[in-house]
Chains A and B, each alone.
Chain A
Amino acid sequence: MKLNEMRQVWKDELVSETPMEEQKMLNALKQESASLDKKIKRRDLIEIGTSVFLFLVWLWQAFIVPGLVAKAGLVILMGASIYIPWRLLQAREAEAPVDASLKTVLQHEIRKTRKQVELLGNVTRWYLAPPAIGMLVFFLGVVLLIPGEIPLWIRLSGFLVPALVMLAVFAGVRWLNHRAVREHLEPRLRKLQAELARLDQEASEAPPAHQH
Chain B
Amino acid sequence: MGLGDVDEQAFLKLIRENLRRIRWIAGKFHSGADADDVSQEILLQLWRSFPTFRGDSAAATWVYRIAVNTAVTYERKHYRHRQQIPLDSTEELQGSDPDSLRQAEILKQFLGQLKEMDAVLLMMYLDGLSAEDMANVVGMSGNNVSARISRMKKRFEAQYVGEPA
Binding site for B on A (CB under 8 A): 1-7, 9-22, 24-26, 28-33, 35-37, 97-106, 109, 188, 192, 195, 198-199, 202-203, 205-212
Residue B5 at the A interface, CB < 8 A?
A: no
Q: How far is the CA of A11 from the CA of B158 in the complex (A)?
A: 23
Residues of A within 8 A of B149 (CB): 212
CB-CB nearest in chain B for A34? B3
Instruction: Decide: A15 and B94 in contact? CB cutoff 8 A.
Output: yes
Taking the nearest CB of chain B, how far is it from the CB of A66, in angstroms?
46
Binding site for A on B (CB under 8 A): 1, 3, 8, 11-12, 15-21, 24, 40, 43-45, 47-49, 53, 62, 65-66, 68-70, 72-73, 75, 82-90, 93-95, 100, 103-104, 106-107, 117, 122-123, 125-128, 131, 136-141, 143-144, 146-147, 149-150, 152-153, 156-157, 160-165
Beyond A29-B43, A211-B131, A212-B131: 19 further Cβ-contacts under 8 Å?
A: A1-B106, A2-B165, A3-B152, A9-B104, A12-B100, A12-B104, A13-B104, A13-B107, A14-B20, A22-B12, A32-B40, A33-B48, A97-B49, A98-B48, A102-B68, A102-B138, A103-B139, A192-B73, A199-B138
Q: How far is the CA of A98 from the CA of B49 in the complex (A)?
A: 8
Taking the nearest CB of chain A, how far is it from the CB of B18, in angstroms?
8
Q: How far is the CA of A35 from the CA of B49 in the complex (A)?
A: 16
Residues of B within 8 A of A31 (CB): 83
Residues of A within 8 A of B47 (CB): 29-30, 33
Instruction: Decide: A37 and B1 in contact? CB cutoff 8 A.
Output: yes
Give the secondary structure class of B's interface.
helix
CB-CB nearest in chain A for B50? A29
Q: How far is the CA of A199 from the CA of B150 in the complex (A)?
A: 18
Instruction: Decide: A7 and B68 in contact? CB cutoff 8 A.
Output: no
Known: A2-B157, A20-B86, A207-B144. A98 touches B107 (CB 8 A): no
Taking the nearest CB of chain B, how far is it from the CB of A210, in angstroms?
4
CB-CB nearest in chain B for A208? B147
Residues of B within 8 A of A198 (CB): 117
Residues of B within 8 A of A209 (CB): 147, 150
CB-CB nearest in chain B for A19? B88
CB-CB nearest in chain A for B136? A101
Q: How far is the CA of A109 from the CA of B70 in the complex (A)?
A: 11
Known: A26-B12, A202-B140, A212-B149. A3 touches B20 (CB 8 A): no
Instruction: Decide: A17 and B94 in contact? CB cutoff 8 A.
Output: yes
User: What are 12 A-to-B residue pairs whose CB atoms are below 8 Å?
Assistant: A2-B156, A9-B95, A13-B24, A35-B83, A101-B136, A101-B137, A102-B69, A102-B137, A106-B73, A209-B147, A210-B150, A211-B131
Q: How far is the CA of A30 from the CA of B21 in the complex (A)?
A: 22
